[in-house]
A and B are shown apart, each in its own frame.
Chain A
Amino acid sequence: MLEIKNISKSLGGNSVLKHCSLKIEDGKVFGLVGVNGAGKSTLLRCIAGIFQVEEGEILIDGEPVYENEKIKKQILFISDDPYYPLNATLTSLKKFYQTFYDWNEERFQEFYKIFNLPLDKPINNFSKGMKRQVFILISLAIMPKYLILDESFDGLDPVMRLNFKRALMEILADGKMTVLISSHSLRECEEICDAFGILENGCIQTSGDLEALKNQVHKIQLGFKDEISKELFKDLDLLYFKKVSHIVTLVVRGDIEEIKQYLKLLNPILMDVLNVSFEELFIYEIMKKEGNFYE
C-alpha cells in the first residue's frame, strides 16, 4: 500500500504541496486530477523518490521511498515528456531499462506486436504519440508494482489509447500492479480508474472510490409550476445550482432517496435524476471550492 503522510514540498520558494495525505490500496488504478499548477507532477515526483519532501513521509509497504533502492525497484515513473539520449532507439532504451529493472521479454514481444514501433530508428524522429507509445511499451514490459504515469495518455491516438487501456486491463487483472495516472483527460481516467484524488491548493481535497463517489453525487433536473427561490434548497449539500425560469438543475451530494424525499416536498412537476460524469464531478467540486457554484 502506498501511504502519503502529511507531506509538504516547495518549489522555488512557492509552497506546492501543503500537508498532503493520501492512501492508495494495492491493485488500484488511481487517477490524480487537479487544475493546472495544482502540484500533480510534483506529487508524482515525490512518490517516485525524485524529489525529497520537506515534511511528512511517503511509504510503500511501510518503507520510505526516498533513496530506497529496494522500494524504487518496484516503481516506474514515466513523466509527461520522458528523457531519452540523443540518437537513442527503442533497442537502446530497452537496454537502459533492462539494466535497472526486471524485464519481461515475452511481454515486450507480445505488446511490441500491437504497438508496432521501429526498433532501430532514432526515437528523436518519432512523433509525440509514438514517443509515448515507446515508454508505455517499456512500462508494460517492466510491469512494476507501482506504475506512475504523468499525463502519459496525452498525445496518443484513439486506437493506441484503446490498445494501451486493453493492455493495462489485462495486466491489472492479476491485481499485482498499482497504477497512478495524472491526466487532464478525465474521461480517459473515468474509463480506467477505480479510485481518484482531486489535488487542490497543495493537498488532496477529495479522494476515494470513483463509483462510490458517483453514487454520492447526483445531478437532478426539476420543473416547478411557479418560480422558486434557491433558499428552499439550502439544507442540501449543493455542488451546483442553476435556475432557468421554472427549471432548476442541481448537483447535490448525499443519499439519493433522502434527497428525492426532500425535493418531493417542494412539489416539483418534473424530477429527473441524471448521470454525473467524472469530468462533471471534478468541475463541480472545483467550482464549489472556489465559491461560485451558483449561476
Chain B
Amino acid sequence: MNKVYFKYLLHTNRNIIAVLFMTCFLIYPFMIFFVDRQMFYSQALDACIWYSFILMILTFCIPIYMQNKRLKKKSVDTFYSLPIKKEKMYHTEMIFGLFLVFVPWVFNYLLGISQYWIKEGSLASGKEVLILIACLIYGFIQYSMNYFLVGKCNNVLDGVITLFAYDFLPVVIFVVAGSFIDMNTVGINAYDVVNFANMSVHGAMYSLVYYFIYRLHYSTLFLNFPIGFLFLLLHCILGILAYREAWRDYVCKPLEEAEQKTTSAWSYRFLIPIYCMLYLSLATYNNGIEIMTITGVLVFLGYLAATFVSNRAIKISARSLVFFASVLLVMNIFTYVFRENKAFGLNEMFPTDYAYVDLDLYINLYDEQKNIQADVSLSDEEIITSLQDLQRVCIDRFYEGQGETIGSLLISYKDSHGKKICNYNYSITKGDEEELLELLKKSGYEIEITDWDIKVE
C-alpha cells in the first residue's frame, strides 16, 4: 500500500466520507433513537438487519466509484503515469474502498446498538455482534466480487450493467427454473424443488447477508445451522479468489482497453447467452404456439437490445441470429426430452421417511350433481403404496394429456410431529373417484352417500 496515495484519497474524498457518515447515521442510530420503547426489542433488531442492506448497496456502488478512473482514457493517462506501481495502487484503492464501505457503516452500527446498551444496560437480543461479524465477512466477499467484475469491464456503463445482471441472475434462475418445473411436472410444488433461499445463497449476491441474518434471526441457536457455515466457507473462498483475481487483473489488464467495448468472457459474452437461455426455456412448444411466439419475440427483442448495448452498434450479425435460433431449438428439444422422460423421475420422488399421509380431496361430479369432499389421514403402508400408484396414473395422464378434470387432490406427507415433508397436488379425472373411494374404504373410513354429497367419515 502507498501511504501517500492513501492520504491523498482520504483528503480528496472527505466530502464523500462525510456524506456516508451522515447517511448511515440518519438511517440507523438516528431512527433507533425514535423507536417506541414498547416496540423497542423487535424493531431494534429488525432495524439492525435492514441496516445491513445499506452495506450491500455500498458494496455495489463503491467498486464502481473506485475503478472509475481505470475505465476512462483521460484518467488512465494521468493515474498510470504516476510513479506508483500498479500493485501498490491496487492495494491502496482496494483498502480505501473497504474503508469507504465499512468505516461509516460500522461506526454508525456501533452507535446504534450502543443505544440499547445505554437505555437497557444490555443488547436487544445478543445477536448484534454476530450480525456485525456476518456483515463484515459478507460485505468483504461481495465487495471483492463486485470489484473483480467491474475490473473485467472496460467502461462504467458496462460495469454497472454487469453488476446488476450478476446480482439479479440468482433470482432469474429461481423464477425461470420454478416456472419451467411448474409447467413440465405434475403434482410437485416447483418452489419446493427450487428453493429460493438456497438459490440466493448459491448466487452469492445481494441476498447473501439477508439469508445469513435470516437464519440468525429465526433460529434459536446459530450453531443449529451448520449449513450456514458451509456456505460461509464457500463464499470466503470465493471472496479471497475474487480479491486475488481482481489484483491480478488490475496489474495485467492492458490500460488501452479503457473506454473500449467490453469483450471479457465475464461480462456480456457470458451474461447474454445465459439470460437468453433462461428466458427461452419459457418459449417452448408445450405452452402452445401463441405463448411460444409471444415469449420468443419478447426474448428476441431483449436479446437484440442487449446485443446492441454490448456492441454499441445497432446491427445484428448472422452469427447472433443463428445463436438465438439454436438456443430456441435446444431449449425446445430439452423440454421435449424432459417431458418424454416424465421429468426424469422428478414427479415420482416420493418421500420415504414419513409417518402418515394427509389427503385433502375435492371432486365435483357434475353428472350426479354431487360433491366428494374429504380431509383424511392414511398411515397403512399398503394403502399408501396404492395411493402412490394412483399418483403415478395422474402423472402419466398429465404427459399423455388425457381425461376431463373433475376435481383436485392434495396429498401431504408428514412426519410423526405432524410437520409437512412435502405436498403433491393433482387434477382428478373421471374414473379416479371410484379408485379413491375404494382406497378410503380399505383404510377404514365410512362412505356415506347423501342427496348432495358423498361424505367420508
The answer, yes or no, to whether A72 is at the interface (CB within 8 Å) is yes
Q: A51-B254, A96-B8 are in contact. Are A67 and B85 (CB under 8 A)?
A: yes
Q: Which residue of A lies closest to B82 (CB)?
A: A100
Taking a contact as CB atoms under 8 Å apart, the answer to whether B4 and A99 are in contact is: yes
The stretch of B31-39, B73-81, B172-180, B401-409 that contacts the partner chain? B73-81
- A75 & B81 in contact (Cβ 8 Å cutoff): yes
- The answer to whether B254 and A52 have CB atoms under 8 Å apart is yes
- Tell me if B255 is interfacial: C-beta within 8 Å of chain A: yes
Determine if A120 is an interface residue (Cβ-Cβ < 8 Å): no
Residues of A within 8 A of B260 (CB): 12
Say whether B82 contacts A72, CB under 8 Å: yes
Q: Using Cβ atoms and an 8 Å threshold, which residues of chain B touch A81? A: 74
Interface centre among A48, A69, A81, A83 (most CB of B within 10 A): A83
One of B8, B11, B69, B81 near A72 (C-beta < 8 A)? B81
Tell yes or no: A11 within 8 A of B by CB: yes
* B73–chain A nearest beta-carbon distance, Å: 8
- A contact residues around B8 at 8 Å (CB): 95-96, 99
Segment 62-108 of B: residues with Cβ below 8 Å from A: 69, 72, 74-86
The verdict on A243 contacting chain B, using a C-beta distance below 8 Å, is no
- Shortest Cβ distance from A16 into B: residue: B256
B5 beta carbon closer than 8 Å to chain A: yes
Known: A67-B86, A69-B83. A83 touches B4 (CB 8 A): no
Bound CA span A255–B146, Å: 66
Distance in angstroms from A80 CB to nearest chain B CB is: 9
B12 at the interface (CB under 8 A from A): yes
Interchain Cβ contacts within 8 Å, total number: 65
Q: B residues within 8 A CB of A51? A: 254-256
Say which residue of B72, B76, B83 sits within 8 Å of A73 (CB atoms).
B83
B150 CB to closest chain A CB, in angstroms? 19
- Give the size of the chain B interface in residues (CB under 8 angstroms): 25
Q: Does A50 contact B (CB under 8 A)?
A: yes
Cβ–Cβ contact A49 & B256, under 8 A: no
How many chain A residues touch B (Cβ–Cβ < 8 Å)? 28
Residue A85 is within 8 A (CB to CB) of chain B in the complex: yes
Q: Which one of A11, A73, A75, A82 contacts B77 once the chains associate, using CB atoms below 8 Å?
A: A82
With A67-B86, A100-B83 in contact, do A50 and B5 touch (Cβ < 8 Å)?
no
Give the contacting residue for A77; candidates B7, B75, B81; CB below 8 A: B81
A14 CB, min distance to chain B CBs, angstroms: 11
Give the complex CA separation of A69 and B4 in angstroms. 14
Beta-carbon nearest neighbor of B88 in chain A? A69
Chain A, Cβ-Cβ closest to B78? A83
- Tell me the smallest distance from the CB of A127 to a CB of chain B, in Å: 17
Q: Is the CB of A99 within 8 A of B5?
A: yes
Annotate A67-91 by CB proximity to B: 1 below 8 A, 0 otherwise. Answer: 1011011011101011101000000
What are 17 A-B contacts with C-beta separation under 8 Å? A45-B77, A49-B81, A50-B76, A51-B255, A51-B256, A52-B254, A69-B83, A69-B84, A72-B81, A72-B82, A73-B83, A77-B77, A79-B78, A83-B79, A95-B8, A100-B4, A100-B83
The 6 closest A-B pairs by CB, nearest first: A83-B74, A72-B83, A73-B83, A77-B81, A83-B78, A79-B77
Could you tell me which B residues sit within 8 Å of A by CB distance? Answer: 4-5, 7-8, 11-12, 69, 72, 74-86, 254-256, 260
